Structure 1
Amino acid sequence: MTRYALGVEYDGGGFLGWQRLSKSGTPDDTSTVQAALEGALSSVADAQVDTICAGRTDAGVHAQCQVVHFDSDAARTPRGWLLGATARLPPAVCVRWCQPVADDFHARFSARARRYRYTLVNRLARPALERQYLSWERMPLDADAMHRAAQVLVGENDFSAFRTVHCQSPHAMRNLHGISVVRQGERVVVEVQANAFLHHMVRNIVGSLLVVGRGERPEGWIGELLTGRDRTVAGPTAPPDGLVFVSPLYPAEWGLPSEVTLPAAIG
């Protein structure tokens, strides 16, 4: 058996999220990204292939570079896996890179950080171009106020106020490495990195920051939410459209591409 790591890019708009809905997928199941990918890889291997990803994404959420690992004894080159799987995937999914890795590499547990980006158009009219990758806010937003308010979230904290009631994590402690809110013309971009995320954590943080950005709450309100740990008083969950899972990050020892490798000082 050889273990392989894949970098997978997908548009999540047409899928019911990453995780397959049945215990094992079928070759024609494209309801979830995992089912579609496993069907393609299984066809290339001529045997069942099961995958594990770095972080599951919800319905409608996209990925720039999701990292996946799988084991196979099929005699295929990394190029063969990449081209063969991509040829069998729907147009909204592709394998960007593939390489063999050590047997103890684990796409989820070997990762030390994850990065997300949330992008919205802030103008009176809804977007037409690239609309599947953008959220929309018609009310004027103070991106600088949103950025200042968000800094209280940095560090190891209990993020109960920003997790869905359906979150299955045994605890809400997460270490948020950094968060920024930047205006780029009509767009407001939120970028966040943490060791791991709770279910809907990024979208719930963005939803609360939008309340501050519209001037409906003061900047200090985000800190009050964090301390209060009460999801019911926080902002609404932001739509999934503007959310992209940028990538997980791994220590350099695994020899993965630079886009998923931590800087030496951090790794």
Structure 2
Amino acid sequence: MPRYKLTVEYDGRPFSGWQRQANAPSVQAVIERAVRAFSGEEVTIGGAGRTDTGVHATGQVCHVDLSRTWPARTVMGAINFHCQPAPVIVLDAEEMHEGFDARFSAIRRSYRYRIQNRVPPLTHQRGLAWHVKSDLDADAMHAAAQEFVGHHDFTTFRHTRCQAKSPEKTLDEFRVYREGEFVIAECSSRSFLHNQVRSMVGSLRLVGDGKWGPGDVTKALKARDRNACGPVAPADGLYLTRVDYRPAEVDIQLKKDWQARKAAPEAEDDAEL
């Protein structure tokens, strides 16, 4: 059964998030309906990240299994045709090696947060950026953001309903810079907690306003208390921009190892790759 990797772009405004829901529109449901429309197959796609309501993507990744082999360009074109008029587009499709999984093969996820920093209200960027009127000090925000880099307990900066087993994450990079009237925050990690990026950006906005300094960010981080977090930034400005993956040979070997464990008499019935 061939597996296809799909790189997806979408405007998150009409959706309750990535994950399919019974009574609300989702990006996952749009793509699954599109696959069914062209292939006749009922499929469940796997995504690299479960973006929340209103969050956008320029580089989300998912995988889909089909019963027959199609040219990758045919898969991409057919899904794009049947996704219309929803604001969801497949940017690239690729038939993948055995063992690839859009979620579990990922080694890094990257997000960008866009703040439109001006006094006049937003027009074209409404719903696509966070509107902040006060003049932000992007350099101060960048300096404070370095407090998040490395391995930390991010209890302060995750949603109270976050389902992750551990609040500890390793942030690889966090950049904040000005681009005209926009302040851009970019961060990368193997994985993130629920609301982590928006929580960190909301606190950094306080730094940009001069209400917090880097020491206040450190204090909030060490508090391990959700009440120590600054205001959470809105979903409008958040984009999943890129997902990086481990080499194919690693996936293939892990798949072989998993199959060997499953075949062994002492293997657990619920062993996972």
- TM-score normalised by L of structure 1: 0.90
Once the two structures are superposed, the pairs formed by residues 1-267 of structure 1 within 5 Å of their partners are 1-22=1-22, 31-89=25-83, 90-253=85-248
The Cα offsets for residues 59-87 of structure 1, whole Å up to 9 and x where unpaired, read as: 11100011101111134221111111110
Query: Post-superposition shift, 1:30?
Result: 7.8
Query: Post-superposition shift, 1:108?
Result: 0.6
Runs of 5+ unmatched residues, structure 2? 250-273
Partner letter of residue 203 of structure 2? S
- TM-score normalised by L of structure 2: 0.88
The Cα offsets for residues 156-185 of structure 1, whole Å up to 9 and x where unpaired, read as: 111111000011101111110000110112
SS at match of 2:120: coil
Runs of 5+ unmatched residues, structure 1? 23-28, 255-267
The Cα offsets for residues 30-72 of structure 1, whole Å up to 9 and x where unpaired, read as: 8100001001012222110110000110011100011101111
CA distance in 2: counterparts of 1:137 and 1:110, whole angstroms: 37
Query: Post-superposition shift, 1:252?
Result: 4.2
Runs of 4 or more above 6 Å deviation: none
2:97·2:248 contact (CA, 8 Å) conserved in 1?
Answer: no
SS at match of 1:248: strand
CA distance in 1: counterparts of 2:165 and 2:10, whole angstroms: 29
The Cα offsets for residues 172-226 of structure 1, whole Å up to 9 and x where unpaired, read as: 1111000011011211000000110000100000000011111112221111111
Distance 1:157 1:163, change over 3 A: same
Aligned residues: 249
1:30·1:36 contact (CA, 8 Å) conserved in 2?
Answer: no
Query: Post-superposition shift, 1:123?
Result: 1.3
Q: Kindly, what percent of the aligned residue pairs are identical?
A: 40
2:147·2:214 contact (CA, 8 Å) conserved in 1?
Answer: no
2:16·2:24 contact (CA, 8 Å) conserved in 1?
Answer: no
Distance 1:232 1:190, change over 3 A: same
Query: Post-superposition shift, 1:98?
Result: 0.9
> Which deviates more from structure 2 when the two are superposed, residues 6-15 or residues 69-78?
69-78
